[in-house]
C-alpha cells in the first residue's frame, strides 16, 4: 500500500472535520483506494486547545516552518481562513513542488492568478472544498463538463441567506426576525454582514465563474446586492405570481463578457432550485450538451467540507510524480458585463387615482420596458401598493426608468426592485 504524508495548516472547523473523518473512515479509504493517508504535522494557533482523538500531541505545532519545511511531507493541506498568511504558504508549497489542497475560498478567489500561474494552470492544486462544502462543484465543472459550452450557472451557495429566506417564505417572518432566529440556531454569525450582503457568495462565485469563463473573474467585478432589503410582503406577492425568492449567484457567459452577479431573485416555483430549502446549497448548470444539471447538498459544515478535502487529498496523491496537465487559462482578461437583460419585479406605492398608471407605463415605455403582469393591492385607501413584472429588459434602462418614476409627483415611493430569473 502507498502511504502519503500530509501536512495540515489550520485545525478549526474544517481541519477538525478532516481529522475526525480520517480517524473514522481511514481504514475504509485504505481498503478502497489502496492508500494510507498519514497526518505528519498539524499547524495550530493554540497548542493547549483540545483536538480530535487519535492524533498524538507531538504532531501539533504552532510553527509553520515545521510543516512547510518538512521534506517528509508529500502534500500540504491548507484549511486556514482569509487571504494571509494562507497565500504565502500555498505559493511556497507549490514552489517546492508539492501538491496543495485548500478549503479556503478567500485565498483562492483573491489570489487566483498568482496561484494558477505558479502552478502552471492549476497543476497539482485542488480546491473543491473552497466552494460549497461537500458539493463537488469544482470537480464537476473541471472534470465532467468539458464537452459543454456552459451557458449559465445558477447557485444557491450561501446557507445563511437560504435559511433566512426559507423562514420568511414558510413562516411569513420578517427579515429581522428570521435573521435573529438564524443567529440563535447557529446558522448565522453574530456579524452576519458577509452572508447577508452577499460577500461570501461573491467569493465563491468568483471561483465558479473563473472556471466557467476560462479566465479570472475577480470578486471586485461581481455585481452584488444583499437580502436585507427584502420585505416579507415581496415574498408573499411573489408567491401569488408563481415565484419563490432565493439568493442567487449567477455566472453567465457571453461571447465578449462575463455576467457575474449575486442578488436576491424570484425564480419560478417549479424550478428545481425553488425547492432547495433551509441551509442547503445547490448549483444548477446549463450546458449546451448536458442540458440542465443540478447538484444539491450541504454547502458547509465540518464533515461535508472534510469529504471534499479528503477527496482532493486522494486525487492529489495520485498525481504525485505524474505530468498532469494544467488547464486553467490565466492570460485572458475578464470583461465584466456592466449591463444585462433581466425580467424585473417592481413594487411601488402610488395614490389611488386615475392617470397614475398611465404616467408610470409611459415612463417604462420610453425606456423600452414592457410589462408582463401588474397587481394592485388594496382599494379605497389613499395610497396603494402597485406591483409590476416586466418582460426582459436592460438593467440600466430599468434603473434609469425607476429614477425617473421615483422623482415623479404621481408616485409616493419605489419600494423594491427584484430580479426575476428563469
Contacts of 52 (CB under 8 A, 6+ apart): 16, 19, 20, 23
Helix H or strand E segment including 182: helix 175-184
Residue whose CB is less far from a copy of itself, 306 or 405: 306
Residue whose CB is less far from a copy of itself, 137 or 398: 137
HEC states along 266-315?
EEECCCHHHHCCCCEEEEEEEECCCEEEEEEEECCCHHHHHHHHHHHHHH
Q: Considering the rule CB under 8 A, would residue 128 count as an interface residue with a copy of itself?
A: yes
Given a contact cutoff of 8 angstroms between Cβ atoms, the answer to whether 305 and 14 are in contact is yes
Q: Which of 297, 336, 352, 404 binds a copy of itself (CB under 8 A)?
A: 297
Q: Which of 3, 288, 372, 376 binds a copy of itself (CB under 8 A)?
A: 288
> Which of 82, 79, 72, 177 has the alpha carbon at shortest distance from 133?
79
To a copy of itself, the closest distance from the beta carbon of 317 in angstroms equals: 10
- Rounded CA-CA distance 141/127 in Å is 12
Q: Is 204 a catalytic residue?
A: yes
Q: Which of 7, 122, 134, 238 binds a copy of itself (CB under 8 A)?
A: 134
To a copy of itself, the closest distance from the beta carbon of 311 in angstroms equals: 5
- Rounded CA-CA distance 39/41 in Å is 6
Q: Considering the rule CB under 8 A, would residue 23 count as an interface residue with a copy of itself?
A: no
Per-residue interface string for the shown chain with a copy of itself, residues 39-78, x marking contact by CB under 8 A:
----------------------------------------
- Rounded CA-CA distance 261/269 in Å is 21
Q: Which of 15, 136, 155, 264 binds a copy of itself (CB under 8 A)?
A: 136
Give the three cell numbers for residue 134: 461537500
* Count of residues engaged in binding a copy of itself, rule: CB under 8 A: 58
Residue whose CB is less far from a copy of itself, 325 or 355: 325
Residue whose CB is less far from a copy of itself, 223 or 296: 296
Beta strands in 57-105 (DSSP E): 60-61, 75-78, 100-102
Residues numbered 371 to 410 that lie near a copy of itself (CB under 8 A) are none
- Rounded CA-CA distance 362/99 in Å is 61
Contacts of 289 (CB under 8 A, 6+ apart): 147, 148
Beta strands in 334-370 (DSSP E): 341-351
Give the three cell numbers for residue 145: 463538463
Task: Identify which range of 76-84, 140-148, 377-385, 396-404 contacts a copy of itself by CB under 8 A.
Answer: 140-148
Contacts of 407 (CB under 8 A, 6+ apart): none
To a copy of itself, the closest distance from the beta carbon of 169 in angstroms equals: 14
> Which of 414, 263, 257 has the alpha carbon at shortest distance from 339?
257
To a copy of itself, the closest distance from the beta carbon of 291 in angstroms equals: 5
Task: Identify which range of 50-58, 308-316, 360-368, 391-399 contacts a copy of itself by CB under 8 A.
Answer: 308-316
- Rounded CA-CA distance 386/345 in Å is 11
> Which of 24, 377, 89 has the alpha carbon at shortest distance from 234?
377
**Catalytic site residue from 31, 40, 105, 204:** 204
Residue whose CB is less far from a copy of itself, 142 or 416: 142
Q: Considering the rule CB under 8 A, would residue 135 count as an interface residue with a copy of itself?
A: yes
Task: Identify which range of 76-84, 199-207, 287-295, 408-416 contacts a copy of itself by CB under 8 A.
Answer: 287-295
Residues numbered 259 to 278 that lie near a copy of itself (CB under 8 A) are 272, 275-276
Q: Which of 233, 293, 361, 417 binds a copy of itself (CB under 8 A)?
A: 293
- Rounded CA-CA distance 394/343 in Å is 9
> Which of 372, 116, 143, 340 has the alpha carbon at shortest distance from 241?
372
Q: Which of 21, 162, 166, 210 binds a copy of itself (CB under 8 A)?
A: 21
To a copy of itself, the closest distance from the beta carbon of 284 in angstroms equals: 9
3-state helix, strand, coil in the chain (%, to 5): 40, 25, 35
Per-residue interface string for the shown chain with a copy of itself, residues 327-366, x marking contact by CB under 8 A:
x-x-------------------------------------
Q: Considering the rule CB under 8 A, would residue 290 count as an interface residue with a copy of itself?
A: yes
For the annotated catalytic residues, the residue numbers are 204
Task: Return residues touching a copy of itself (CB under 8 A).
Answer: 17, 21, 24-25, 28-29, 31-34, 128, 134-136, 139-140, 143-149, 214, 272, 275-276, 280, 287-298, 301, 303-304, 306-311, 314-315, 318, 322-325, 327, 329
Amino acid at each position: 500500500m502507498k502511504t502519503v504524508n500530509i501536512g495540515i495548516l489550520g485545525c478549526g472547523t474544517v481541519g477538525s472535520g478532516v481529522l475526525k473523518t480520517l480517524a473514522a473512515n481511514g481504514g475504509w479509504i485504505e481498503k478502497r483506494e489502496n492508500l494510507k493517508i498519514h497526518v505528519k504535522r498539524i499547524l495550530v494557533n493554540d497548542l493547549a486547545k483540545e483536538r480530535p482523538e487519535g492524533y498524538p500531541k507531538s504532531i501539533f505545532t504552532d510553527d509553520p516552518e515545521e510543516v512547510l519545511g518538512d521534506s517528509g511531507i508529500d502534500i500540504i493541506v491548507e484549511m486556514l481562513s482569509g487571504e494571509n498568511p494562507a497565500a504565502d504558504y500555498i505559493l511556497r508549497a507549490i514552489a517546492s513542488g508539492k501538491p496543495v489542497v485548500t478549503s479556503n475560498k478567500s485565498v483562492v478567489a483573491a489570489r487566483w492568478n498568482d496561484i494558477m500561474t505558479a502552478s502552471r494552470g492549476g497543476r497539482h492544486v485542488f480546491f473543491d472544498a473552497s466552494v460549497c462544502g461537500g458539493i463537488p462543484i469544482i470537480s464537476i465543472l473541471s472534470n465532467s463538463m468539458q464537452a459543454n459550452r456552459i451557458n449559465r450557472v445558477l447557485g444557491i451557495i450561501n446557507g445563511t441567506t437560504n435559511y433566512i429566506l426559507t423562514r420568511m417564505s414558510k413562516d411569513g417572518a420578517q427579515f429581522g426576525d428570521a435573521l435573529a432566529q438564524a443567529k440563535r440556531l447557529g446558522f448565522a454569525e453574530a456579524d452576519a454582514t458577509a452572508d447577508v450582503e452577499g460577500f461570501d457568495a461573491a467569493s465563491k462565485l468568483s471561483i465558479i465563474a473563473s472556471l466557467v469563463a476560462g479566465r479570472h473573474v475577480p470578486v471586485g467585478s461581481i455585481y452584488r446586492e444583499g437580502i436585507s432589503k427584502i420585505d416579507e410582503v415581496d415574498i408573499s406577492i411573489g408567491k401569488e405570481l408563481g415565484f419563490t425568492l432565493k439568493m442567487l449567484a449567477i455566472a453567465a457567459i457571453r461571447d465578449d463578457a462575463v455576467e457575474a452577479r449575486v442578488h436576491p431573485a424570484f425564480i419560478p416555483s417549479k424550478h428545481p432550485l425553488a425547492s432547495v430549502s433551509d441551509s442547503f446549497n445547490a448549483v444548477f448548470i446549463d450546458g449546451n450538451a448536458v442540458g440542465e444539471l443540478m447538484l444539491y447538498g450541504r454547502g458547509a459544515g465540518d464533515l461535508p467540507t472534510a469529504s471534499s478535502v479528503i477527496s482532493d487529498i486522494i486525487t492529489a496523491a495520485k498525481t504525485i510524480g505524474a505530468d498532469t496537465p494544467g488547464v486553467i487559462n490565466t492570460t485572458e482578461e475578464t470583461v465584466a458585463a456592466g449591463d444585462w437583460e433581466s425580467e424585473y419585479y417592481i413594487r411601488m406605492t402610488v395614490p389611488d387615482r386615475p392617470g397614475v398608471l398611465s404616467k408610470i407605463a409611459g415612463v417604462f415605455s420610453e425606456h423600452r420596458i414592457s410589462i408582463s403582469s401588474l397587481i394592485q393591492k388594496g382599494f379605497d385607501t389613499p395610497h396603494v401598493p402597485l406591483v409590476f413584472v416586466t418582460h426582459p429588459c436592460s438593467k440600466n434602462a430599468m434603473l434609469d426608468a425607476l429614477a425617473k418614476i421615483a422623482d415623479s409627483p404621481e408616485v409616493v415611493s419605489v419600494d423594491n426592485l427584484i430580479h426575476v430569473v428563469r
